[in-house]
Amino acid sequence: MKKHVLIMLLAVFTISCDSDDTETRTVNVDSTLIAKSNLYGNGSEGIVQQNLVINDLSSWNDLMLQMNAVNNVTNDFSERDIDFDLFTVIAVFDTVKNNGGHELDLSISSNSENILVSVVDLFPEGDDSNMVTQPFHIVKISRSQLPISFE
């Protein structure tokens, strides 16, 4: 009889314990918009479709120089001096588009394991213009030790 009671208690205890398979809590990450616009150099800037995580001043300055290769777009940035001890920059570039009206939107969230950046490509309804554009979206977030991934 004691054996059956012990087995029952062990089964109840095991079932009531939290499992590692439980869903992790996801929260939105606050970001500060640096720029959300388009490059207009018909791809001459040499920036391919990419998602960048920038953690140092040298990489940030290199990116701004490359973005300014045809037009001085960084003049319109909300800020250019980033304290990389406190912040990480996330820069997302789309492909070169044959017409205008395209833009990117970002949604950033985190859980206990990583920071997830969701990129949404907003398509225009019809051709907005015949101008060749390359949408980009750049934000900064508080520096974290969590890895950043994109979807």
Q: Is 10's pLDDT higher than 90?
A: no
Any idea which of 18-22, 33-37, 89-93, 137-141 has the lowest mean pLDDT?
Answer: 18-22
Task: Return the closest-CA partner of residue 54 out of 29, 84, 86.
Answer: 84
The first and second tokens of residue 42, run together, are: 């018909």
Which residue bears the tokens 């909300």?
A: 78
On whether the pTM is more than 0.85, the answer is: no
| Maximum average pLDDT range among 5-9, 58-62, 126-130 | 58-62
Q: Is the pLDDT of residue 134 over 60?
A: yes
Residue 9 confidence (pLDDT): 46
Give the span between the Cα atoms of 127 and 53, in whole angstroms.
31
Give the phi and the psi of residue 134 in degrees, each rounded to 5: -135, 100
Using CA atoms in the order 145, 60, 95, 100, what is the torsion angle rounded to 10 degrees? 120
Q: Assess whether pLDDT exceeds 70 at residue 119.
A: yes
- The pLDDT of 50-74, averaged and rounded, is 97
Residue 146 in this model has a pLDDT that exceeds 70? yes
Q: Which two tokens stand for residue 68?
A: 């300014």
Mean pLDDT of all residues in 137-150: 97
Residues 54, 92 contacting (CB under 8 angstroms): no
In sequence order, what are the residues at sequence separation of 6 or more whose Cβ sits closer than 8 angstroms to the Cβ of residue 94?
49, 102, 104, 121, 134, 135, 136
The model's pLDDT over 12-57, given as tens digits with 9 standing for 90+, comes to 444 555 545 446 799 999 999 999 999 999 999 999 999 999 999 9
